[in-house]
Amino acid sequence: MNSIHESAVSPTPLSPTVAANIDIVLEMIRTHLRMDVAFLAEFSEAARVFRGVSARRDNPPIRAGDVHPIGAGYCRKIVDCILPELIPDTADFPVAAMIPETASIPIGAHLSVPVRFGDGRVYGTLCCFSYLPRPTLGQSDLDLLHQLAGLTANMLAADVTAHQRRRRLRKMIDAALSAGDPRIVFQPIVDLASRAVTGYEALSRFAAEPARSPDKWFADAADAGVGKRVELIAAQKAIVESRRLPAELTVNINLSPATIVTSDLEPLLSLIDPERLVIEITEHAPIEDYGRVETALRAVRGAGARIAIDDAGAGYSSLLHVLRLQPDIIKFDISLTRGIDTDPNRIAMVGALVEYSRRTGTTVVAEGVETPEEEKVLRELRVDKAQGYFYGRPSPVSDIAAVSGLTT
C-alpha cells in the first residue's frame, strides 16, 4: 500500500449495486472519451483508494483496491487547483511533468474532476488518462466528466452516509467501553410457589452519553459492526461479577443469535460452572439459518448450560424460536404479564404457553411482574418462576452482597 498505514485508510463499503454501476460509468468514460484508463479514487485522511478501474489493456498501471498516498499523482493537486482539470498534453504543464507517474506510467493526457456531495464535501475524484497526448480533448469532454461525477456522487451518497454513521457509532461505543460500560446489574428470578430466589439475570447499563436504554446501545453496536464484541464484553463481565453470588443460583446472560453462531463461547463457559449458566436468546428478528444456531447451541448444552428464549409472545419470531430451538426455559414477554389480572386474552395466551411447557418439559418464567394481583394470576396458571420489580429491581452485585450478607 505504498507505506500507507492501514489506520489511515477507511474506504467506504459499497453496496453491490453501486459498485456495479460505478464500473459501468467508468467503462463509459473510457470508451466514449477514447482514453486508456478511467478510475474513481476515494480520499481518506492520508491516502486515496482506487474504488473502480476500467482499463484498455490487461495489465493496467492501477487496479481497483490499490492505495496510494493522498499527495501522490494528480488527484489531490486538481482538487486543490494546483493542476487544471483538463490536460490534453501533460508536456505543456511543468507541474504535471514533475509528477513521477507522468513518466513511469506514462500519462500523456489527463482529465479529472472532484466528486462532490450536495453539502460540498469531496468524496474523491473521477479521472481518466491516456498514455499519449490527446490535443483534441476539449470543454465538451470535461463537461461530460462533470455530469458523470454528479451522477456518481448521487449513487455514492447513501453508502457514504451509512459508512459515516457507522464510524460515528463506533467512536461513541469505543468511548463508552473505555469509560467502563456496560455496567452490570442483576435482577432476581424467583420460584413463584415459594418466592425463593433461584437465580439472577445479568443486565447491562450504560452511563455514557447520550443517555438511552441498553437495547439502543446494543442495536447501535450491531449497526457499527461491533455488536458481537460488546455482547461478549457484557457477558464476560456478568459472569465474573456473578462469582459473588451464591454458587447454587443460576446466572442468566443475554446473547443474540448472530453472536452465538459466530463466536467461540468456550471462554465464557470456562469462567463459570456451565450448569449454573442460562443463555437467553435475545433477538426479535427471524433467524435465517436455524441449523447453524442449533449446532452452536449443541456444544453449549453439551457442557451443561441451559437455553432460554426471551420475550416469548412478543411476536411471531420469538414463538418460532421456541418451536425450532426447543429451549429449556421460556420467558414470557412483559407485554403478556402486564395487567394479566384484568385481561382474559393475556390469561388465555399465557395459559396456552404454560400448557405447551408442560407437554415439553420446559420451565416458564414470567417477566415484568409488578403487582400482587399479577403474581396471583400467574400462580393460578402454574407459571414456574417470575421476575420483575415486585421481587427486586436490577442492582449491582455489591448491593446484593451487602443486603444478603455475602462475603466477597
With cut-offs at 50, 70 and 90, classify the pLDDT of residue 6.
very low
**What is the C-alpha to C-alpha distance for residues 408 and 401, in angstroms, rounded to an integer?**
8
| 173 in any annotated domain | no
Indicate if 277 and 321 belong to the same structural domain.
yes
pLDDT of residue 19: 95
Indicate if 367 and 391 belong to the same structural domain.
yes
**What is the C-alpha to C-alpha distance for residues 331 and 322, in angstroms, rounded to an integer?**
10
Cell numbers at residue 192, please?
A: 413463584
Q: For position 46, which CATH number holds? A: 3.30.450.40
- Tens digit of pLDDT for each residue in 116-155? 999 999 999 999 999 999 999 999 999 999 999 999 999 9
- Tens digit of pLDDT for each residue in 242-267? 999 999 999 999 999 999 998 889 99
Indicate if 159 and 72 belong to the same structural domain.
yes
Indicate if 44 and 187 belong to the same structural domain.
no
**What is the C-alpha to C-alpha distance for residues 408 and 242, in angstroms, rounded to an integer?**
11
Mean pLDDT of 52-62: 92
Contact call for residues 282 and 310 (beta carbons, < 8 A): yes
| 102 in any annotated domain | yes
222-226 CB contacts, 8 Å cutoff, 24+ apart: 222/256, 222/258, 223/165, 223/166, 223/169, 224/166, 224/167, 224/169, 224/170, 224/173, 225/166, 225/170, 226/170, 226/173
Indicate if 245 and 139 belong to the same structural domain.
no
- In this model, does residue 388 exceed pLDDT 90? yes
Mean pLDDT of 282-295: 82
pLDDT of residue 402: 75
pLDDT of residue 321: 87
Indicate if 149 and 188 belong to the same structural domain.
no
Range of the domain at 15: 6-164
- In this model, does residue 9 exceed pLDDT 60? no
* Residue 317: CA count within 13 A, CB half-sphere: 13
The phi and psi torsions of 374 (rounded to 5 degrees) equal: -60, -45
Neighbouring CB atoms inside 10 A of 405's CB total 6
Structural domain total, the chain: 2
| 1 in any annotated domain | no
* Residue 47: CA count within 13 A, CB half-sphere: 19
Q: Average pLDDT of the chain?
A: 92
With cut-offs at 50, 70 and 90, classify the pLDDT of residue 45.
confident
| 169 in any annotated domain | no
Q: For position 395, which CATH number holds? A: 3.20.20.450
- Tens digit of pLDDT for each residue in 199-240? 999 999 999 999 999 999 999 999 999 999 999 999 999 999
- In this model, does residue 332 exceed pLDDT 80? yes
Indicate if 213 and 289 belong to the same structural domain.
yes
